[in-house]
Amino acid sequence: MGIFITKSTTPIIWLDTLAVIEIYKTIKEEKENPRIKKLFNIVREKVSQGKLICPLGEQEEEIEEKVGEVIKQFVDLSLGISFLSNDEIKESQLIKAIKSYSKTKDVELTYLDAFHRDPVTHLKNKNGFIFSIVIEPTQLEIDTRKIIKQKNIEELQSVKDEFYKDKEFVSKINDELNGHFIAISYLIDMYKYKKENDIPLSEVENLQILHMLNRPLSFWNEEQKSGLSGYLDFLKSNDYKQLPYVDINARMVTDLFTSKRKSLEIGDPTDITNLSTLLPYCDYVLTDRDQMNRIKRLGLDKKYDTKVFALSNINDLFSDLEKI
């Protein structure tokens, strides 16, 4: 089974959350940054001309101050176009792979899988009215997000320090590619143990079973009808491991954990999740220098035909955009 991705005829650019925040601060004159101002002007011009698509993703989940104001500013660039959620995009890839599995059929992905509606048509039919609803998080919600992020990064730091210490990329990549199979297997064993011992599942465990097992297994049984054992075999197969979000995430996580950089950054997990999901559908990506270097080191930019930039080489991005 092969994977083929059809990109939009109108180029798509992804700006990470840091770039979105910097744009807001620059345009609102809270911060002087000529390069960010130029980025905003070029992207806005090309989008308004219908030559570039700059969608909103899940950036608002990472913004901790003035969420509504920052997102409203970004609407000038997105014109109301947004990606589906990361989970929805991953699920669309999974469903297509399940339908093609064991049928010797290639998996044909398209940029349309990542949007609610065709963004090219949206640009052509824009009428000047944009409706954008942003729910401003409470301080409690922001504080809770920070606590969860801190807990997650501490757990990942422990994984890096204990299980990846002095390990090389090639020796650990298969562990990450098999990560979902391992997680599902653990979930099944935990469920069996608690059921046999009449121990109730926690709310988190119920949600994990619903999203990680019940939903995909229902898709699997509709198409393949070989039950749980067949689905577990699928998760171990190369067909599953070829899916873009599986492939990119596994390689970026392994590279992060085996890197010489001792301490993980709190934004690393979210950056890798966004890039794993969105990079294949984009023509241009602007992220931080560390993630850019990681993507290029792994050859993911060439594999998925996506040009990746950071502020350190943003002039190269300007040159590309000006030619559109």
Closest listed residue to residue 107, CA positions, set 239, 250, 217, 280: 239
Task: Count CB neighbours of 96 within 10 A.
Answer: 19
Q: Specify whether the CB–CB gap between 308 and 287 falls below 8 A.
A: yes
Helix spans in 197-288 (H): 203-208, 215-223, 227-236, 238-241, 244-258, 268-278
Question: What pLDDT is stored for residue 297 in this prediction?
Answer: 96
pLDDT at 141 (0 to 100): 80
Please give the pLDDT value at position 134: 63
Supply the pLDDT for residue 131: 58
What is the model's pLDDT at position 278? 97
74: CB partners within 8 A, 6+ apart = 20, 23, 24, 56, 59
* pLDDT value for 32: 82
- Residue 189's identity, in one-letter code, is D
Whole-prediction pTM? 0.91
Contact 89, 39 (CB under 8 A): no
- Which regions of the chain are under pLDDT 50? none
Q: What is the pLDDT of residue 139?
A: 80
pLDDT of amino acid 127: 60
pLDDT tens-place string over residues 85-116: 999 999 999 999 998 887 777 889 999 999 99
